[in-house]
Structure 1
Amino acid sequence: MPLSRRAPPGIVHGIELTPLSPPANLTTELVRRLASEIRAGRLNPGDRLPTEQALMRQAGVSRTVVREAVSALRAEGLVTTRQGVGAFVTDPTTRGQVRIAPEEMRSLTDVLQVIELRIAIETEAAGLAAERRNAASLERIETAAIAFAAAVDAGESAVMQDLDFHRAIFAATGNGFFPRFLEFLGPILIPRQTVRAQVEDGANRTAYLQGVREEHARIAAAIVAGQAMAARSAMRRHLSASRDRYAQLQASLR
């Protein structure tokens, strides 16, 4: 991979990425490529990643793929983002040492086990969010739900918007360890990133995401109403539906 001369810390580093071929998941491949640059030391702590436009041009991918990849790198602790400025490589001494990495998700059994973990944690998070929400957290949850619905209506995969919705709920708990746990799960929180090639034909994806949109709406409504029991129930149903979907897929592939 051709690289330009090393840039001083804190400015855009001039890495050059060759266009990506169309693998099963462009986001995962872009994350892998950028992470390898960081781990190899070709991108150093304090270096800024290339701009969205530069990454789109170099890798030959959409803005959505770039944003999903940066979000995944942030979840892995490899970069931090500054609104209106860009994404910067983190100091490795400050990165979390324990996380679930995308490469660990080798099978649908792994996906199902992560969903089971999410059911246990996120059900309670929804209840706490309903009990402790304030005006700011409610606005964030409602904004995330609307953004997800708009992305679905536009025919997008809505992975980033889905992740933002769950982040908003974790933040609304008022317990800082919940968002940290979400980052522990990292980019594999949304399972269709891992198994997209197997399940996301057009009609299948559209029908599924329309259902998710309604599930998000029910969760958000319960939190807004301050109904903790209803919020827990709505979140459990939401994640259980996801678990059942992937269990059915696993059975169909045997």
Structure 2
Amino acid sequence: MAKSRLSNAIVVDYMRRIGSHDIEPGTPLPPESALCREYGVGRSVVRDALQALDAKGFVIVRQGSVAVVAPRHRWHVLDKDFLDATNPAEYFPLLQEARELLEPALARIAAARISDHQLTEMVALNTQLAAQHEDPERHAELDIAFHDALARATDNVILVSLHSSITGLGQHTRIAAAAVPGAIDRAVFWHEQIIDALRAGDATGASSAMHLHLTQVREDLRTTQPGHPEDPGEES
């Protein structure tokens, strides 16, 4: 097996263990020699894995001492490998908080800058979304594309980059929300309100419609969480 694949397997395993709270922040990792024995690899593979975990913010590597699990605020929780290795639902409320800060502002800016071509693109995406009720992953792709088109309409590459950084976790939230009865229809409705405000150049209306849309998304996601009164596993 290639060296990079061996080191990546260690990285993914430790991200899973850290993300599932099996290993708490501040916990020392075993010495390199112990890790070599545990994974059956050479020292260079272990060092590559530790450097990758350090770069992703999950461990702190110091010269001459063992690595330790980093404080939670340093973790790159939007890293795709981390999301694939752990339970992303833990971060759904935090993502919604971030979206509710960012996306109404994007809509406000886009209302003054959006082109006819970009409006047409958003209408087409929302039309496709309205017809998509069978495939949650396709729903997620279309919904992300709609919100990405709005971000691009700000003509601000920094904001586009910020928005793009959260779409990986956003794919997970959208797949979860798509299972809630009526969620897609509600999203399509609020998208229409956003489009209407953008077409009218109404910055306040676009921002308000986005805020209400994200409030609806938050409520839909809440119904997917264990312990919610409507959760199938909850006793009546």
Q: TM-score, normalised by structure 1?
A: 0.54
Task: Indicate the residue corresponding to 2:123 in structure 1.
Answer: 142
Deviation at 1:121, TM superposition (A): 0.2
Task: Indicate the residue corresponding to 2:147 in structure 1.
Answer: 166
Deviation at 1:231, TM superposition (A): 0.5
Task: Indicate the residue corresponding to 2:135 in structure 1.
Answer: 156
Q: Residue 176 of structure 2 contacts residue 221 of structure 2 at CA under 8 Å; is this kept in 1?
A: no
Q: How does 1:92-111 map to 2 (within 5 A)?
A: 100-102=78-80, 103-104=82-83, 106=87, 108-111=89-92
User: Alpha-carbon deviations, 1:140-191, whole Å to 9, x = none?
Assistant: 2222222212324xx3321111010000000001111122112211321134
Q: Residue 188 of structure 1 contacts residue 194 of structure 1 at CA under 8 Å; is this kept in 2?
A: no
Q: How does 1:1-254 map to 2 (within 5 A)?
A: 100-102=78-80, 103-104=82-83, 106=87, 108-152=89-133, 155-157=134-136, 158-192=139-173, 195=176, 200=179, 204-205=180-181, 207-250=182-225, 251-252=227-228
Return the alpha-carbon distance in structure 2 between the equivalents of residues 133 and 100 of structure 1: 28
Deviation at 1:99, TM superposition (A): 6.5
RMSD: 3.3
Taking every aligned residue pair, what percent have the same amino acid on both sides?
21
Q: Residue 99 of structure 1 contacts residue 185 of structure 1 at CA under 8 Å; is this kept in 2?
A: no
Return the alpha-carbon distance in structure 1 between the equivalents of residues 160 and 215 of structure 2: 21
| Secondary structure in structure 2 of the residue aligned to 1:159 | helix
Deviation at 1:246, TM superposition (A): 2.1
Q: TM-score, normalised by structure 2?
A: 0.57
Cα distance change of structure 1 residues 193 and 227 upon mapping to structure 2, 3 Å threshold: closer
User: Alpha-carbon deviations, 1:89-144, whole Å to 9, x = none?
Assistant: xxxxxxx9966135346364410110110010001001111111112222222222
Q: For residue 134 of structure 1, what is the amino acid of its counterpart?
A: S
Q: For residue 101 of structure 1, what is the amino acid of its counterpart?
A: D
Task: Indicate the residue corresponding to 2:44 in structure 1.
Answer: none
Cα distance change of structure 1 residues 107 and 135 upon mapping to structure 2, 3 Å threshold: closer
Q: Residue 99 of structure 1 contacts residue 184 of structure 1 at CA under 8 Å; is this kept in 2?
A: no
User: Alpha-carbon deviations, 1:196-232, whole Å to 9, x = none?
Assistant: 7xx72xxx44x21111111111111111111111100
Q: Residue 145 of structure 1 contacts residue 216 of structure 1 at CA under 8 Å; is this kept in 2?
A: yes
Structure of greater Rg:
2
Return the alpha-carbon distance in structure 1 between the equivalents of residues 125 and 132 of structure 2: 11
| Secondary structure in structure 1 of the residue aligned to 2:155 | coil
Structure 2: 5+ residue stretches without partners? 10-55, 58-75
| Secondary structure in structure 1 of the residue aligned to 2:87 | coil
